[in-house]
Structure formats: structure tokens, C-alpha cells
Chains A and B, each alone.
Chain A
């Protein structure tokens, strides 16, 4: 299945701002993080502290991704 993944801030040093990724069926957020870690080990420290949002809602590692989901990888916020 395919999901859209959005990357922001320092994450864009490692990934494009928007990528369409093919994951195995029933992949959860942990699976996506592992997939990204494997592709870019140099992004691992940032990936470990990033939150994941699906359709703009922050979700946990066990969240099951659906075909077509829009997943945002959110490094720690630094607004203000």
C-alpha cells in the first residue's frame, strides 16, 4: 500500500518534503519509522525524537496506517 509522508525542518536534510512510500499491508507507525531509519540511518537521532501525525492528529507507534494516509513526521517543535 502507498502512504504520503510529509517531512519538515531538519528532516528535509534527509528526505524530500513530500514522499510517496510503499509499505507492507498492516504497517503501523513503528514500521514506518523503522523503514525510514533503514533508508537514512544518519537521520536516526532525529527520527527517534520525532512525533508522527496521521491526517493531522498525533498518533502512537501502534497506530495502523491505511492506504492513502497522509503521515507527517514532526521533529520537536521550536516555535515561539
Chain B
């Protein structure tokens, strides 16, 4: 067994698109969201990102958000994984999966989870620009429109 503690909702590895659905016969709707590294932010050309976190607290905060979502909606499946470290353009930074009997719950819960993850989970993004400079992102005060 590894001496490194592992966390269900935090990874330093590439996040891949799932190749199959969760095996839940009652599930009639499944929503998959991925947040992806894009090559521009606020007009500046971005070359790559680095994410860091207060890992144990970030993992626990995501776990609590998922539990809250399961209390609010009848979900058969809910998961969220955030990647840390250096990420290149078009790589996946975060995924949220929700599944329910009907689509409405899965859509609503998925949006709820990603919105809370962005605002509450202690994870921070540093943007590296084409001109060689870099900057810590100043939080997500206007992220809801983006």
C-alpha cells in the first residue's frame, strides 16, 4: 500500500472522458460536465495553467457539496474530480457527473455542484501567458456569466 494518502475527488493525473456509464439500471438521465483549460482569459493569451489546493480540505469540501446535492435532488449518481498541477490547453481541469431517473434532476444538480465547487473549494489557478508572465486568478466573482 502506498504511504501517500489518496483523495477521491482530487487528482494529479490526466482526467479522461468516461468510456462507459455508471452501472445503475434505474438511471434514465446522466449529465457530464467538464471544465477545460482554454487558451485565452480576459483578452490575454494563456499557454498553460497550474492549480494548487489545500488538498485534504478541498477533497472534504467537494464531498460535502456532493452530499448536499444528494439531499436536494433524487440522484442515483454524483461525482466530482478536480485535477491539480500543470495543465495544458484543452486538458480537463474538473468533471462533474450526475445521474437520476429523469433528466431534470441530473441537469439541476450538475449545475449546482460545479457552481459551488468554483466558489467554495480551496483550489487556486495560476495562469501563464504567452508573454512569459503569470498571475494568480483573482477568484470567480464574475464566473457565473462565463
A74 to B94, Cβ gap below 8 A? no
- Closest-CB distance, B112 to chain A (whole angstroms): 13
B138 to A78, Cβ gap below 8 A? yes
In the assembled complex, which residues on chain A have CB atoms less than 8 Å from the CB atom of B54? 6, 8, 53, 56, 72, 74
Q: Indicate whether B82 reaches chain A with its CB closer than 8 angstroms.
A: yes
Within 8 A of A (CB), among B97-146: 114, 117-126, 136-141, 143
Q: Point out the residue from B35, B118, B126, B141 that lies within 8 Å of A9, measured CB to CB.
A: B126
A-binding residues in B (CB < 8 A): 35, 51-54, 56-58, 60, 82, 93-94, 114, 117-126, 136-141, 143
Q: How far is the CA of A77 from the CA of B115 in the complex (A)?
A: 12
B124 to A77, Cβ gap below 8 A? yes
B-binding residues in A (CB < 8 A): 6, 8-10, 49, 53, 56, 72, 74-80
Per DSSP, chain B at the interface is mixed
A79 to B53, Cβ gap below 8 A? yes
Total A-B Cβ pairs within 8 A: 72
Known A72-B57, A75-B139, A79-B82; 5 more pairs at CB < 8 Å: A10-B124, A76-B138, A78-B118, A79-B58, A79-B118
A9 to B119, Cβ gap below 8 A? no
In the assembled complex, which residues on chain A have CB atoms less than 8 Å from the CB atom of B119? 77
Contact A56 B53, CB 8 Å, known A77-B140, A78-B125, A80-B117: no
Q: Point out the residue from B82, B93, B122, B136 that lies within 8 Å of A74, measured CB to CB.
A: B122
Q: Point out the residue from A6, A56, A74, A80 that lies within 8 Å of B35, measured CB to CB.
A: A80
B82 to A9, Cβ gap below 8 A? no
- Closest-CB distance, B133 to chain A (whole angstroms): 14
